[in-house]
Amino acid sequence: MGKLLSVRDALKTDFPVVEVMHRMGGLDYQLPDLTSPLVLVHKVCEGPEGVVGSCFLRLTAETFLLLDTSLSAYRQLKTVQALQPAILLEAYRLGLDDLNARIPETIERKFTNPLNQLGWTKARPGWSAWSRQCVMP
């Protein structure tokens, strides 16, 4: 029979344990600042041996870009270049650390170079983006 697990809100005293789990996991990303107001939810899972897992939710923004497809590629790029500074400024004013964009494979190749030129990077090569609606079954 498995040992009982319980989930609770994380305490600041749990953060060093979470940091060790992150480091030991060998994951290729920097652990966000868990004290940031952008980290909205902090949970830990405890067993008899102490904290054995952690999950937190950091606020981010999904970016949606809609362009007039009748425009030339050059004009579309110029449109994105005009929009981006205003969007980045507004995101900064709201306190957001990053923006995410999900691009369909059917058009990704067309946008790779322009996105690189605008400072976007492909999210963690080798990782797939997954999503989940926040409705209870």
Q: Say whether pLDDT at 129 is over 90.
A: no
Rounded to two decimals, the pTM is 0.72
74 and 51 fall within a common domain: no
What band does 19 get if pLDDT is binned at 50, 70 and 90? very high
- pLDDT for position 105: 83
Q: Tell me the average pLDDT across 79-100.
A: 93
Domain membership flag for residue 22? yes
Q: Tell me the average pLDDT across 2-17.
A: 92
Structural domain boundaries, residue 105: 61-117
The three-class DSSP label of residue 95 is coil
50 and 65 fall within a common domain: no
| Model confidence pLDDT, tens digit, residues 27-49 | 878 898 999 888 999 999 999 99
CB-based contacts of 96, cutoff 8 Å, min separation 6: 38, 59, 60, 61
CA dist 100 and 14 (Å) reads: 29
